[in-house]
Chains A and B, each alone.
Chain A
């Protein structure tokens, strides 16, 4: 089965992924912040038992991961894949996650809310991610009545999530916008439409997401974010074209040099690795650089693979920084596809 990031999607020269997240709470328990340890355990057991039946219904198999039974490295690796949140792995007290085989769905248990239902799709495809999350939401709701208020909608721990409980986001690769220092302007422009942007580590990856969750329907929230994403995509494309037209030789040179460094370096820091991979992605999208082989051409899996916890899982032991940088260079050398020259 293909992972979500191996599937192709719309506008994938810029949009890495689409994500939908629903915050839900069960009616019969207090919210996580007021749950005793025993209640939290009981809640998780109950959710786990009932959600086990989702497998057959959805045709998707889930791994159940209890936060107190997996290693710290594994926890961090899950956040590096965006499958669970920082809040879940640092949570005091019982917490768990259910992650689907293809990594397109994860359900966080007893994070800030009882349930956080997350769905991913490759490229620009909120609709696909929404359908996954919506279906799952209904299936879960069949087993558990939700905390819901006639006027305020779905009730959440933080009033910032109340209403739809919906946070939708796109992960965008914006090397041209970031490289020409236009991010601050964009951040303030889109802020007026209730959309925020934040950096997602190095590599020119940025997430845009809706700030408000109450007052608009789910479709309106998604439509609004999509409209804004299109504007950003348009700007990024325009800038890429301009930069390339102005200095084709220079851009090609940068992209190929980056490839050369990645392929032949012996030690590589995370930030440099991410930025060089960003150059490669720019080259792939612009067609200056072509990878050998079949399937989707994206460096995103490599960007995940070189994260610290991923490297340590691969090594099967904790690594200090020097060893990690060495392993990172080895990993890239091994996994970076050959070029068609």
Chain B
């Protein structure tokens, strides 16, 4: 799709703007989006949702199966997350981690926290585990592995393969 502003470059940023209840969808290239920064700030949640959504469209097959995933604690579905860009509770991060990890890395440029840690959490908090069964988790990783292979990202594929292997070993499933 071409950028709606310059009609020259490919649009990479999609966002939904709601003014007085009227919904407008926009698609811009990064150059034109940058120019807009001072005029009118992009509503960030929608911008973010747009980026995530666009990512999901790229892999439609994956979307079909994954959209059904629901956080057991707060009942947020992956589809909700894609449309709103916002997570519902701390467990969402565990539940959706395999799905959103790549996006977090894209937004943040990193996915490992190195800063401050809470002083008083460890005693009081037992971290809830992801509600996936190992088999489901392996299934997700496999899909990601296939995608990585399709995109010829062999480094990512190798690390996914190792993750799958580790999970299988942990659970005593034969490779």
Contacts and interface: CB of A to CB of B under 8 A. Distances in A.
Contacts of A151: 111-113
Contact of A158 (B45, B114, B117, B121): B45
Interface string B103-137: 11001111111111111110011010000000000
Contact of B121 (A31, A148, A216, A221): A148
B112 A215 contact: yes
Contacts, number: 141
A30 B107 contact: no
B110 A212 contact: yes
Interface stretch (B82-90, B139-147, B162-170): B82-90
B87 A164 contact: no
Given A158-B85, A158-B86, A218-B116, A34 B124 contact: no
B37 A217 contact: no
A34 B88 contact: yes
A31 B89 CA distance: 5
Given A159-B103, A162-B104, A148 B118 contact: yes
Contacts of B85: 158-159
B118 A141 contact: yes
Interface in A13-44: 25, 27, 29-31, 33-34
Given A31-B88, A147-B90, A149-B90, A164 B104 contact: no
A137 B120 CA distance: 11
Interface residues of A, number: 47
B115 A212 contact: no
A155 B136 CA distance: 24
A160 interface: yes
B104 A199 contact: no
A213 interface: yes
Contacts of B116: 134, 137, 164, 217-218
B89 A30 contact: yes
Contact of A153 (B45, B86, B113, B119): B113
B74 interface: yes
A31 B119 CA distance: 21
Contacts of B111: 151-152, 214-215
A340 to B, nearest CB: 37
Given A151-B113, A164-B116, A188 B34 contact: yes
B93 A160 contact: no
Contacts of A213: 108
Given A31-B90, A34-B88, A148-B117, 5 more contacts: A134-B116, A147-B89, A158-B44, A214-B109, A216-B110
17 contacts: A30-B74, A30-B88, A31-B74, A33-B84, A145-B125, A147-B89, A154-B118, A155-B87, A158-B45, A159-B48, A160-B44, A163-B110, A212-B108, A214-B110, A214-B111, A214-B113, A218-B115
Closest 3 CB pairs of A and B: A215-B110, A153-B113, A147-B90
